Amino acid sequence: MGVSCDYGRPSRTQLNNLMATSILTKFGQERSATDYAVMSKESMAWLRDKIQDLRNVSSIPRNISSEAFRQDKRFMLGKMYCFFYDPKGKDDLPYYDKFPMVIALEKYPDGFLGLNLHYLPYRYRVAFLTKLMDFATLNQYNDVMRIKVSYDILSASKRLREFRPCLKRYLTSHIRSKILAIEPHEFEVASFLPLQQFKGAKPKEVWEQSVEQIRNS
């Protein structure tokens, strides 16, 4: 006699959980399971292969913003965040990023200063992030890793001149979503994902101007 196996339909909660898992989370978990060294050639090749197969990339930021665990209640300098943004005076800007990926540098009463890595082409982005990891510190009490670099350090170093096109001022009143934390083990994946949402120019145009600014600095 045959055995009938009826696993039933997934619950609404299960479906929501499946839908809420972003590519950033998925790739971050898969990357952590490999033996590749961080920022190694093998790791870069693995990521390029994964990202080449992506479809519907425009939905990735929304999927990331739906992950409740990313909603960091305590904003900290040196951590990496992403969020939806509608800049003040946007009509006067040549272009801007609607979904910045920012390492926070300085905090102000009305917002903060940060490095939006989206303004760098992927090769420059990975190289700059690798350099910034030299400033990473780990709090032994809460396992929180932060990149402790300041504007003064950046501006005084020719080695870190990639910071110039990335340096942006963000107003809290113009943030249009929760501020979403990117975990340290996801930095590498996040730097490769096409999360930028430039308004006013195509990514290639933005990156060409950024590279020119770096070379002239």
pLDDT digits (tens, 9 = 90+) for 188-202: 999 999 999 999 999
Any domain includes 6: no
Alpha helices by DSSP H, listed for the chain, are: 12-20, 23-32, 41-52, 60-65, 122-132, 151-155, 187-192, 203-215
For residue 57, the model assigns a pLDDT of 86
In a domain, 61, yes or no: yes
User: Residue 1 domain-assigned?
Assistant: no
Please report the pLDDT score of residue 37 as a whole number: 83
Domain hosting 180: range is: 12-215
- pLDDT, one tens digit per residue, over 17-63 is 444 589 999 999 999 899 888 778 888 888 888 888 888 888 999 99
Q: Is the residue at 4 inside a domain?
A: no
- Per-residue pLDDT tens over the stretch 51-73: 888 888 889 999 999 999 998 77
pLDDT band at 4 (very low <50, low <70, confident <90, very high): very low
Q: Which candidate, 47, 91, 59, places its Cα nearest to that of 189? A: 47
Domains in the chain: how many in total?
A: 1
d(CA 169, CA 114): 6
Q: Judge whether 58 lies within some domain.
A: yes
Whether 171 is in a domain gets the answer yes
Report the amino acid identity of residue 172: T
